[in-house]
Every structure is written in C-alpha cells, then in structure tokens.
C-alpha cells in the first residue's frame, strides 16, 4: 500500500509496483486532506504536475504523481510486449487501489481516457475526477499535430539547443526552454544524441489507431457516477465546443470549466488559473469525498 506518513516531507521520489510486472516512478507528498492522484498526458511525465501538486499539497492535500509506463523514469515494455490501453488502465487501477482511501484523480489527455476506463471497470476507484482537456471523442487534427511532433525526430537531437528550437517552433506561445529544463525532458544516448523521455514505440502501438476506441471510452464515461470536472482550453485543437457538449450529454452530472487562453497543454499554459479551478472544485466536494475509508482493489495479479 502507498502510505503517506504524517511527518513533514515533500516531494519524495519512490518506485511503485504497477500491473504486469511494471515498476513506475512516482513522487508523493503527505497531507491530511483528500489524496490527489495525477495522471499525465501522452509523451509527458509526472513533472508536468509539479506546480499544481505543490499548490494542492500546500493546501493540505496528499499528492501522488507517477510516470506512465513507457514514459520518463518508469519501465518501458520489453520488445516482445506491445503497448496497449489495458496495461495503462491496469496500472492506474493498481496505483489508485493501493492508496489508503479513494483519491481524486486529476488526469490530462491520455491519463483522463484511462481514468474513465478505470472508474468504469472499478466503480468507486476515485472519489472524484478532474479531466484536463480530454473528451471521449476528440478532434483528429489535434491528434495528428501531436503525433507529427512526436515522430519528427526518431534519431533524437545532436544538442539540447536543437531540441529547444524544435519545442519553440511547436509551442511558440511558451517561453523558450532552458538547458536545465530540457534535461528533464530528454535522455542522453550512448551515441551522444539526446532522445525524448518516452518510448518511440508508443506512437505506433498505442496512439496511431486510438480513434477506433472512442465508442468504448464513451460507454465508460456513461458509467461514471463519481463527481467529475472537465477543464478545457479555449485554444485547444483536441477538444472543441462540440466534443464538450457531447461529453456533458454522456455525463450529465459533470461540471465544466473553460480556460480561454489555454491550449491543449492546459496546466502548462495557464497553471495559476488551472490550479485555482482544481482547488475550488476540491473545496466544494461533499464531505463523503474526503471520508477515511479502506480502499483496496486487489487489481494487481
């Protein structure tokens, strides 16, 4: 079981046992209020949540963020083990189920899709959910843009400067990345080149044909009964007013917050507004969402 000790401690890096033998890198911090579990988007790591997790922890919430398999410091699948969605859903069920009580899930993009699948498969896994710029049906052009970026440099970069140029062209509205921040996004290879921190197999094995699963994800969304907040970016090319409307019809009890200046990378684009929206939502949750209950799914084989 993942424990949050009462002694003062912040941002402790740990290793968690996921599903199917995977070991996941994670960061936790203690708190007396409802625990919050963070699940990042495709191609990201738990570092995407650092600012929000620190703010929520300062407000008293226990926090736990982890790198999904194939990302960051977590295990990558063996060459003879293709990536598929059930692995990511199972990992989320295992991690959430071993927390002392049902957490609030804050999940972006890919993490949100697997969050819907996990809650539908194991009702009550989460006390509440916050989905960040993701709906069961998404706009194709947004996915194509992301996959084009992730596939553009299969041999990595000769220098961190080259990586910074590429990221700036992809996200011109963001400040240019420093070399220190880039070291958290890339890993040096034996050939001296810098490669992304995610397994390149993920693009073809997990993401290319993801649209075929939209009906299954929509069915999962219909089954979600826990409190749910959707946070969308006004400049997102993945989530649109139409997909938001469809989602709200699937989950009538859901709430929606629209951040007009954010792109799909909501937390990174407008972190203060995003964090405020999450804190306001957590503060308004019924007391039952913070109840101290034993919470074990037994999902791990």
Q: What is the full per-residue pLDDT of the chain (301 aa) written as tens digits?
A: 665 554 445 789 999 999 999 999 999 999 999 999 999 999 999 999 999 999 999 999 999 999 999 999 999 999 999 999 999 999 999 999 989 999 999 999 999 999 999 999 999 999 999 999 999 999 999 988 888 888 888 889 999 999 999 988 888 887 888 888 888 788 898 889 999 999 999 999 998 888 889 999 999 999 999 999 999 999 999 999 999 999 999 999 999 999 999 988 898 878 899 999 999 999 999 864 444 445 555 554 4
Q: How many domains in the chain?
A: 1
Within-domain flag for 216? yes
Residue 202 maps to a domain: no
Which pLDDT score, from 0 to 100, does residue 6 have?
45
Angle between helix axes 271-284 and 50-58 (nearest 10 degrees) is 40
User: Taking Cα atoms as reference points, which of 167, 161, 215 lies closest to residue 44?
Assistant: 167
Name the token pair of 294: 């034993």
**Distance separating alpha carbons of residues 185 and 249, to the nearest angstrom:** 37
Give the whole-angstrom CA distance, residue 281 versus residue 261.
20
Q: Could you give the residue ranges of the DSSP H alpha helices within 213-260? A: 214-223, 241-250
The pLDDT of residue 57 is: 95
Give Cα 253 distance to the centre of its chain: 22
Q: Looking at residue 174, what is its pLDDT?
A: 78
d(CA 89, CA 69) in angstroms, rounded, equals: 11
Q: Do residues 253 and 148 lie in contact, with contact meaning Cβ atoms separated by under 8 Å?
A: no
Q: What is the DSSP letter of 177?
A: P
- What is the sign, positive or negative, of the torsion defined by CA atoms of 90, 91, 94, 97? negative
Tell me if 168 is assigned to some domain.
no
Distance (Å, rounded) from C-alpha 237 to C-alpha 35?
Answer: 31
User: Looking at residue 262, which CATH number applies to its domain?
Assistant: 3.40.50.1820
- Classify residue 17: in a domain, yes or no: yes
Residue 207: predicted pLDDT: 87
Q: Is residue 188 part of a domain?
A: no
Question: Distance of CA 299 to CAs 34, 90, 229, Å?
Answer: 22, 7, 25
Rg (CA), the chain: 18
- Longest C-alpha distance within the chain, in Å? 54
Look at residues 284, 288, 239, 247 and name the one whose alpha carbon lies nearest to residue 264: 239
Residues 6+ away with beta carbon under 8 Å from 127: 34, 101, 102, 103, 104, 226, 227, 285, 288, 289, 290
Q: Is residue 39 part of a domain?
A: yes
For residues 96 and 33, what is the distance between their CA atoms, to the nearest angstrom?
16
DSSP string, 171-195: -TTSPPPPHHHHHTTEEE-TTS-EE
Name the nearest CA neighbour of 111 among 122, 119, 121.
119
Element housing 129 (H / E): strand 128-132
Residue 30: both structure tokens together: 């203690």
The reply to whether 207 falls in a domain is no
Report if residue 157 sits inside a domain: no
Range of the domain at 110: 12-139+212-290
Sign of the alpha-carbon dihedral angle for 41, 123, 56, 27: negative
Residue 168 · residue 185 · CB < 8 Å: no
Hey, is 87 helix, strand or coil? Answer: helix
């Amino acid at each position: 079981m993942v424990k949050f000790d009462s002694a003062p401690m912040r941002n402790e890096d740990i290793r968690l046992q996921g599903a199917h033998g995977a070991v996941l890198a994670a960061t936790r911090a203690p708190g007396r209020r409802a625990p919050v579990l963070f699940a990042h988007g495709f191609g990201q790591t738990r570092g995407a949540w650092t600012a929000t997790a620190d703010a929520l922890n300062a407000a008293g919430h226990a926090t736990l963020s982890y790198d999904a398999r194939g990302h960051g410091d977590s295990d990558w699948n063996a060459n003879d083990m293709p990536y598929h969605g059930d692995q990511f859903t199972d990992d989320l069920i295992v991690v959430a189920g071993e927390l002392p009580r049902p957490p609030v899930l804050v999940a972006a993009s890919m993490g949100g899709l697997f969050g819907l699948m996990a809650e539908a498969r194991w009702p009550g896994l989460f006390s509440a959910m916050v989905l960040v710029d993701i709906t069961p049906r998404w706009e194709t052009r947004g996915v194509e843009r992301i996959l084009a970026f992730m596939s553009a440099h299969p041999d990595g970069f000769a220098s961190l400067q080259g990586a910074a140029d590429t990221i700036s062209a992809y996200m011109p509205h963001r400040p240019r990345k420093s070399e220190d921040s880039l070291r958290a996004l890339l890993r040096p290879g034996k050939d001296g080149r810098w490669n992304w921190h995610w397994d390149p197999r993920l693009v073809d094995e997990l993401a290319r044909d993801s649209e075929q699963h939209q009906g299954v994800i929509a069915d999962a969304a219909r089954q979600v009964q826990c409190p749910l907040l959707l946070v969308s970016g006004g400049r997102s090319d993945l989530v649109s007013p139409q997909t938001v409307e469809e989602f709200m019809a699937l989950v009538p009890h859901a709430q929606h917050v629209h951040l007009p200046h954010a792109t799909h990378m909501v937390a990174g684009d407008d972190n203060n507004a995003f964090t405020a929206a999450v804190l306001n939502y957590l503060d308004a949750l019924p007391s039952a969402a913070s109840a101290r209950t034993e919470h074990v799914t037994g999902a791990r084989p």
